Amino acid sequence: MILSLKNVSYHVKNKNIISNLSLDIAENEFLTITGPSGSGKSTILKLLANLISPTEGIIEFRNKDINQYLPTEYRRKVSYCFQQPLLFGEKVVDNLRFPFRIRKQKFDQDKAVRALKAVDLTPDFLNKNITELSGGEKQRVALIRNILFKPDVLLLDEITTGLDDDSKEIVHTLIKEVHQNKTTIIQVTHDNDEIEHAGKIIKIVEGKLTK
């Protein structure tokens, strides 16, 4: 298994968000997590991303407690894409330089341009101010920033919420290609179309896995 949650619970101010959850995720799986709002779906992704820590239980990546990895090492392997795209700096290029910088590599502009084209954005987007981008364009830039260097696992937190149909289709196509390139995908979604075309589906209700 590439990721395993073992008897994981997460509590905030005496409120149980996740309760004694055990879940194994296989290599190259495409897992979709569904359930009502407030059921703990996004919390599971944040736990898997090591953005928050379980109150109880452990999470393993490749049979090793995720806390035994350096945070920078782990986040290169397990990449998290937020529902609201978080871009930084002034221009799109600032965001696409970042994955190279943290790996102490020279920025490969050709690779960045190819990534932009993969989400139907032209090369001139490199020098666009992020304040000029639409919501769909921001989400596409955030997504390719996460996959310029192939992660082992890609965590997607309702990333198509609020996107128009064209942007959704572009994002869906790219995610499918990423999965075919042997990246494990774990997504949270309410989108019925995404659920219908999902691989494995699990449902979370009140922080618990339901049948």
pLDDT (tens digit per residue) in 2-16:
999 999 999 998 889
Pairing of strands 208-210, 30-34: unpaired
pLDDT at 179: 94
**The pLDDT value given to residue 109:** 97
pLDDT higher at 164 or 114: 114
* Res 61 pLDDT > 90: yes
Per-residue confidence (pLDDT) for residue 167, from 0 to 100: 85
Amino acid 129: pLDDT: 96
Q: Count Cα atoms within 13 angstroms, Cβ side, for 64.
A: 7
pTM of the model: 0.92
pLDDT band at 211 (very low <50, low <70, confident <90, very high): low
Q: How far apart are CA 166 and CA 158, in angstroms?
A: 16
CA dist 201 → 65, 120, 210 (Å):
25, 29, 11
pLDDT digits (tens, 9 = 90+) for 121-177: 999 999 999 999 998 899 999 999 999 999 999 999 998 888 888 888 888 899 999
Give residue-wise pLDDT tens across range 98-112: 999 989 999 999 999
Enter the DSSP assignment of 170: H
Predicted confidence at residue 190, as pLDDT, reads: 79
pLDDT of residue 113 exceeding 90: yes
Domain map of the chain by residue range?
3-210
Give pLDDT, residue 31: 94
**Judging by beta carbons within 10 Å of its beta carbon (0-12, 13-18, 19+), is residue 25 exposed, middle or buried?**
buried
Domain made up of 3-210: CATH architecture: 3-Layer(aba) Sandwich (3.40)
pLDDT at residue number 97: 96
Of 64-78, 106-120, 155-169, 170-184, the least confident:
155-169
Contacts of 131 (CB under 8 A, 6+ apart): none
SS3 100: helix
- Mean pLDDT on 42-70: 96
Q: Are 29 and 199 in contact (CB under 8 A)?
A: yes
**Percent of all residues in the chain with a pLDDT value above 70, rounded to a whole number:** 98
